[in-house]
Amino acid sequence: MNKLLLLLLISSSLSISAKAQRGTYDFLLGVEAAFPTGDFNSYKTGVGGWVQGLLGVGESGQVSFTTGYNTFTFKTPPANEKIKTSIIPLLLGYKYNWSLFYAHPQAGLGLYRFKTKVDNGGTSTTTKSSDSGFTLGLGAGVKVSRLDLGLRYQAGFPGGGTISYFGINAGYSLVKR
């Protein structure tokens, strides 16, 4: 009898703790305006989009994976040149949710592409290169129904340099459970 009671007690406590650990999962699509900072401020405001998957852990937290694409053009390139940089972040994070607000630190890898096009009076030459580097982000925002509005800072360190920006983003939740 004691063994049966102990088994029921363990079984019910595991069931209760499993329910307490289940959070919500979500899949979002969004757009972002990115304002270059620091060494990267010689570029115009960038634009891009992102996708984000969230897996609930506990009642207030979600583990996240975020990727996307942002593109930036150089403000004042030399004559006859166009210079463009694009970023593809691959970030893992933890989104902590309060009733309406959230905080969202992230870290991972950034893929950085650099493209220069030189027009030589009828002919053009394009030079492309790429690099990768540790990338981190810190965001905060509000979530109202399926709409996600946020601010974030992202900094990447490809090839010894720093590429950073401050972003304003809006996303829409496609799946929420």
Residue (of 120, 115, 156, 116) closest to 136 by Cα position: 156
Two tokens at 30? 């969004």
Task: Judge whether residue 5 has pLDDT over 80.
Answer: no
- Rounded distance between C-alpha atoms, residue 146 and residue 3, angstroms: 48
Strand ranges, E, within the chain: 26-37, 46-57, 61-73, 81-97, 101-119, 124-144, 147-158, 163-176
* pTM recorded for the entire structure: 0.83
Sequence-distant (≥ 6) Cβ neighbours of residue 115 within 8 angstroms:
83, 84, 85, 86, 126, 127, 128
* Contact (CB, 8 A) for 44 and 71: no
Nearest to 167 by CA among 115, 108, 106: 106
Share the mean pLDDT of the chain.
88
What are the structural domains, with CATH classification, of the chain?
A: 21-176 (2.40.160.20)
* Contact predicate 104/95, CB 8 Å: yes
Structure confidence at residue 22 as a pLDDT band (50, 70, 90): low
Alpha-carbon distance of 71 to 114, in angstroms, equals 10
pLDDT digits (tens, 9 = 90+) for 51-69: 999 999 988 999 999 999 9
pLDDT at residue 55 in the model:
96
Convert the pLDDT of each residue in 107-165 to its tens digit: 999 999 999 999 988 888 999 999 999 999 999 999 999 999 999 999 999 988 899 99
